[in-house]
Structure formats: C-alpha cells, structure tokens
Homo-oligomer: A and B are copies of this chain.
Amino acid sequence: MATQRKKTAKKNETAERMAARQRDISVSEFFLKNRHLLGFDSPRKALVTAVKEAVDNSLDACEEGGILPEISVELLQTEDNRFKVNITDNGPGIVKAQIPKIFGKLLYGSKFHRLKMSRGQQGIGISAAGMYGQLTTGAATEIFSKIKNKKLAQTMKVLMDTSTNKPTTLKAKEVEWQPVFYPYKEDGKAGKMVKASHGTCVSIEMEATYIRGKLSVDEFVKQCAIVNPHLQIYYRVLMLKDVDEEGNPKDVPWITFFRGSKKLPPEAGEIKPHPHGVELGVLMQMLKDSTARSVKGALQQDFSRVSPKAAKEICEAAGVDPKAKPGKIAQQESEALYKAIEKTKLMRPPMDCLAPIGEDDLITGLKKEIKADFYTSITRNPTVYRGNPFQVEVGIAYARPGENDDLAGDDPVRVMRFANRVPLLYMGGACAMTKSVSAVNWKSYGMSQPKGAVPIGPMVIMMHIASVWVPFTSESKEAIAHYNEIIKELSFALQECGRRLSIFLKKRKRAMESERKKDYIEMYIPHMAKGIAEILDMPEKKEEKIVKDLKNMLERTHLDV
C-alpha cells in the first residue's frame, strides 16, 4: 500500500514548485480543521459550547429588545453519540434575510464593530455550532423565528459551504408561530413559558456526549441562572431510554430555574474608542475612513472624550493643520498625531457602559448555590485596559470544614469564572482569573497554599469581569487573556476579600479556642465548688449555688486567647 503515499516533499524543492502549492485558506476551512479553537474538541464539550453560544445570543437579543428573557434548553438524544440541541427564546426574532448569514457564515454579526458590553462579540459562536453539527452529522441547522410585526413565523434550514464560508438555504417557508421546543403546559407544573408573540428557536443535531458534573450543560445552565437573576430558564434532557417503543419521547418534565428578579440589568451603552487605547495603525485607518471634514472634527466625532479644546491641542502639538482632510493625512503626520494624543491629558472613557452584577447580587448568587459560613464580595471601580473600560468583581464563600460535602477542606478551592455574565467552565488553567488567585498570598489570610497554586480549603471564589471587549485566550471564549491591568484589578479584589476572610477566620478561631477553654474550666467548676465549700464548711445547698454562680461568671466572661 506504500504506493498510495504521495511524497511531494522531494529534496531540492524549488521556489517555483513551492509557489504552485500556495493558496487561500477560507476562514471556515481553517476553523473546521481547528474546531477545538471554537470549543468543539470533544463530544462532551461540544454540547456545552453549542448550548452556551445559543443561550448567549438569546440573552443578548432579549436584553437589547428590552424583553425579560425566557429560554428553554432541550437536549434530545437521537443516537448513541448524537444529540439535537434545541434552544427557544422569547426574543425579538430575526428578519428573514439575516437568518442564513447569522447561522451559516463565520465572522458575521452586529457585535464586532461596536464597543458595548454583551455576551457575544465575535460573530462566530452560533454559526460554528451549526458548522460542527454539519461536520459530524451532515445535518443542517434548523431555525424558526417570528418577529413582532409579521403575522407568520419564518422557518428554514441552513448549511454552510465551508470552502467559501457562505450559507445555503433549504426549505424556507412561512408557518404559524408555535415555538417548537417549548415547555408550555396548561397545568403549569414545570413552570410556564410566556406565550410571546415573537422569538427564535434553533435546532442543531451534532455528535455529542451528555455527562453530568462540573463541566456539563447542567452546570452551565445552573451558573447561568445564578448570574442572570432576571432570566427564567427551562431545561430538560431526553435520553434514548426516554423514548417509548413507538418512538415518541416520554413526558420528561422540564426543570425550571425561576427568575429571582423582574428587573433587567441596567442598560449598558455603546461607546466610541478612547484615543489612549487606539494603536497607530488603527488611528491611521480611522482617519482614512472618517466622515468628518477635518482632522479636528474626526478626533472629536470618532473618539470618546475628545473635546474641541483637546482636539485643537492635539493638532497643535503634532504640527498638523486642524482643518486638513483626515483621509489625506500622511504616515508621518499620523505618527505625530499618535504621539500627541499619548501626551494629551484626556478624561477616562465613560464608565456607564458597564453593568456589573453588584456586591449584593454576587452574595445572593453564592448563597443560592453554596452552603457556607462566611460570604463577602467586592465590586471594584471600573478602569481601563487598551482603552477599553472594564470592571471586575469577586465574591467568596467559606464553609466550616466538614459542613459542605462539595467543599472538602483538603482540596484546592473552587473557582467559578464569569465574563459579561457568561459562565466559563473550561480552560481554567489558562485563565487570568485562575492566575490571579494563584498569585495572591493566601497564607497571609490564614489559608494553606502550595507554591504558585490556588489555595487549599473549603472555599468557593466567584469572579466576574464586565467589559465592552473581553479579551479571551481563544475563540471559544473560555479563559481571559493575561492583561496586566486585568490581573491587577482581580488581585486587588481578591486581596480585599482575603483580608475580610482573615478577620473572620481569626475571630472564629478565637471563638473556638475560647469555647474550648470554657469547656475546660467548666469541667473543674464542681471540684472548685467542692473545695470552697469544704474550706468554708458550707452546706451542700450552698455548694450547688457556688457551681451555678461560677458557671454564670464564666458565661459572662470573654476569654481572650
């Protein structure tokens, strides 16, 4: 069979022969081969990633539409290692013309070219899930969507041509709006989805494995409910065994995570790039693309925090005519402008573009999930990395050893990570959040900690970053990149939590030792009473009184250790 092997790499390959083999690589070919970059490395993780991408999109759409989100997540096993992932939301729906591109084309969307806090940001996620489904089962993504002003819903199937990254549409038609995967039940037993007049259902069949545990869809859905108290989410898993002999699924009930609040998170606004976070190349491109008539106008109009005065200052410092056409600026002038901007004092970017979870909700979330003895949380003030505003939050829950079976005292603490309210389950080792936890000296707060590792103890650390642009270490958005500014903020928050924990632990230790001393003294009280009674030759009744008095005294005394 050796003849089958094609040896193209002959010795003395020439530049010409190499040239003949060089060609374009489409972005979908690239990600198909590198599907682990998108979070589809294993059938188990693929299931989590697909659910995550769909739920992220649903939540974003609902919040932008000002709608209190209700989402149903259904995993329907179709073969031993195949599932249909069915997600339904009550969002504003998607117009017909956009459906194929959103679900059948990588790098397409509304969130990339803006600076606004949202879950999705790349225009890759949901179409990647569809591509993975198509790759592993050959099946198209099925979409069903109803928008407010239309009478009927639109349904179609979408395939991706991976060699060109273009969508193909199959079986598009208009139908009655009747959400397909829908926990609505007249008896309302398992929660009741509101019959919205709009929404989107998406169904992707894919190779997948369903396993419970810390890295499962169960966990994702649970954590999602924790950080999105305004979300009502319905969830069920239908395994092959849940299908009767005639092929009909049995009536497996939906698990409902009820919303804890009817208030949408505060509206996060969109901002323009801040001049101090813009690189020379981007500045050049922005000037070239500007619709402003003058350089000064472009600086004021296309960036945040550039007042007319600041714009004039920048132009003067750079020796550039403020009235020059921005499209005609030469490279050297751009560089002069860039350096002038760096030296000009400007207000920090507006920070009301961030909607953190908040210290109270952090603790509420932790209490919902983690049985513990001590809770605390910090929401840091917003700050800036590469011109992008961001804000970090940390909450901790510390259990009494042996109190919580999930938190063994001799295991590393559990780190729960979130970015723009999305739970991050995988790739903890690569994450700036985990790194920050390891870098803090927990020994000084009374915990044990192996060198360079996360501390040991019955504790959960919940961490959240909110930003108009969260820097992830990969397209699958599972870990935060190691930007110094971010690590610094996380460390400050962790240290403050650590200090509070340390005070609590010391107090508890003192209380416990005091308790121990009391017990010890209490043991001797009868003997002491007996001695006193003997010395003073008192009757037995008095002896009993002495015991009582001494015990009372002990109760009142604060024994310092």
Given A12-B65, A116-B9, answer yes or no on A1-B307 (Cβ-Cβ < 8 Å): yes
Residues of B within 8 A of A484 (CB): 42
Which residue in chain B gives the minimum CB-CB distance to A429?
B429
Q: A334 CA to B36 CA in the complex, in Å?
A: 24
Q: A461 CA to B109 CA in the complex, in Å?
A: 45
A334 adjacent to B66 (CB under 8 Å) = no
A27 adjacent to B27 (CB under 8 Å) = yes
Residues of B within 8 A of A32 (CB): 281-282
Min Cβ gap A135→B in Å is 3
Which residue in chain B gives the minimum CB-CB distance to A7?
B269
B285 adjacent to A162 (CB under 8 Å) = yes
Contact of A64 among B9, B97, B282 (CB under 8 A): B9
B92 adjacent to A134 (CB under 8 Å) = no
Which secondary structure characterizes the binding site on chain A? loop
- Which bracket fits the contact residues of A? 35 or more
A11 adjacent to B267 (CB under 8 Å) = yes
Residues of B within 8 A of A29 (CB): 112
Residues of B within 8 A of A13 (CB): 64-66, 92
Given A148-B15, A347-B1, A481-B36, answer yes or no on A108-B284 (Cβ-Cβ < 8 Å): no
CB 8 Å contact bits of A279-310 with B (1 = contact, 0 = none): 11110110001000000000010001111000
Q: A270 CA to B8 CA in the complex, in Å?
A: 6
B350 adjacent to A25 (CB under 8 Å) = no
Query: A552 interface residue, CB < 8 Å from B?
Result: no
Which residue in chain B gives the minimum CB-CB distance to A303?
B4
Query: A412 interface residue, CB < 8 Å from B?
Result: yes
List A98-144 residues whose CB lies under 8 Å from chain B.
98, 101-102, 105, 107-110, 112-114, 116, 122-123, 134-138
Contact of A22 among B102, B284, B483 (CB under 8 A): B102
Q: A429 CA to B279 CA in the complex, in Å?
A: 29
Query: A259 interface residue, CB < 8 Å from B?
Result: no
List A390-447 residues whose CB lies under 8 Å from chain B.
411-412, 427, 429-430, 434-435
CB 8 Å contact bits of A467-482 with B (1 = contact, 0 = none): 0010111110001011
B304 adjacent to A5 (CB under 8 Å) = yes
Query: A531 interface residue, CB < 8 Å from B?
Result: no
B305 adjacent to A138 (CB under 8 Å) = no
A-B contact pairs, 11 of them (CB 8 A): A9-B64, A9-B116, A14-B148, A23-B110, A25-B123, A30-B122, A34-B471, A36-B471, A138-B334, A162-B285, A427-B430
